[in-house]
């Protein structure tokens, strides 16, 4: 439940939801505790990282057996939180920019990266502000488990597309608005298993795959997916699957001038 006034550590000109920023700001100190409130993301990270790596390698013709296969490519992580994706992406050679609306999250992310000797450009900002700054485009834009927390998902997605380079792509990962997602991702994860604090997710803000297509209708992109991601209770691991009823990912490729549209 949302109680009290939101923490207004957000940037202007934003589609963000201040109450959502307040919620994650309050947990910022626990980002890098694998047994803490962000334990689900730590468990989720291997399958996300593998998907990002493989999709980037295929598009840019990179050899993932090399030490830093993505050297020379720019990556933007929107809603980066404490940097759980930014750090491994930097180790793979990407020039990484991490953006989050929460000053507290960025402070944690910056301190942790510095302690690891990693050079990551962290900003307490928004997609809209980054777009206005003229620092785009980026070869890869990560939009991971963020869209279900913003106030205006259509505007947010279109702004993120504008940040993608002409030959680049974006990955969107989110939760499907289905009865199964309500049962597992909200009731099960928050109230039964206690993997997440109660109230972390608002099921009504979950996004169906066809809604992402609608949000980006008319944009110069081609979209693939959804690609399902499922959790195995016995092995306690996440893996790619054909089940898109709860978690899924989609890829959004920036088309050339004469390329395909949604």
> pLDDT tens for residues 65-78?
999 999 999 999 99
Task: List the single range of 61-70, 71-80, 150-159, 182-191 with lowest mean pLDDT.
Answer: 182-191
| Mean pLDDT, rounded, for 245-251 | 94
Give the C-alpha separation, 213 to 153, whole Å.
12
Q: How confident is the model at residue 181 (pLDDT cuts 50, 70, 90)?
A: confident
- Torsion sign over Cα 165, 169, 175, 178: positive
Q: What residue has token string 């004469």?
A: 258
Task: List the single range of 20-29, 204-213, 226-235 with lowest mean pLDDT.
Answer: 20-29
What's the pTM value of the predicted model, to 2 decimals? Answer: 0.84
| Mean pLDDT, rounded, for 109-115 | 93
> pLDDT tens for residues 16-38?
667 665 655 566 668 888 888 78
Domains parsed from the chain with CATH numbers: 18-254 (3.40.50.150)
pLDDT > 90 fraction of the chain, expressed in percent and rounded: 56
| Mean pLDDT, rounded, for 91-109 | 94
Mean pLDDT computed over every residue of the chain: 84
Please count the other Cβ atoms lying within 10 Å of the Cβ belonging to residue 23. 19
């Amino acid at each position: 439940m949302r109680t009290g006034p939101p923490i207004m550590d957000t940037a202007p000109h934003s589609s963000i939801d201040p109450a959502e920023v307040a919620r994650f700001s309050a947990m910022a100190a626990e980002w890098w505790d694998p047994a803490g409130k962000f334990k689900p993301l730590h468990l989720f990270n291997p399958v996300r990282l593998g998907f990002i790596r493989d999709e980037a390698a295929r598009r840019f013709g990179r050899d993932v057996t090399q030490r830093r296969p993505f050297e020379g490519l720019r990556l933007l992580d929107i809603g980066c939180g404490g940097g759980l994706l930014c750090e491994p992406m930097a180790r793979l050679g990407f020039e990484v920019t991490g953006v989050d609306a929460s000053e507290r999250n960025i402070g944690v992310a910056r301190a942790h990266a510095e302690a690891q000797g990693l050079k990551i450009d962290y900003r307490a900002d928004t997609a809209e502000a980054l777009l206005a700054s003229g620092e785009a485009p980026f070869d890869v834009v990560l939009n991971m488990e963020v869209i279900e927390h913003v106030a205006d998902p259509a505007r947010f997605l279109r702004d993120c597309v504008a940040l993608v380079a002409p030959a680049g792509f974006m990955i969107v990962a989110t939760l499907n608005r289905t009865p199964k997602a309500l049962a597992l991702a909200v009731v099960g994860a928050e109230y039964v298993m206690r993997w997440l604090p109660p109230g972390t997710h608002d099921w009504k803000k979950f996004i169906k795959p066809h809604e992402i297509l609608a949000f980006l209708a008319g944009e110069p992109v081609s979209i693939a997916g959804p690609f399902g991601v499922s959790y195995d209770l016995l092995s306690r691991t996440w893996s790619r699957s054909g089940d898109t009823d709860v978690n899924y990912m989609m890829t959004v490729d920036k088309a050339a001038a004469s390329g395909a549209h949604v």
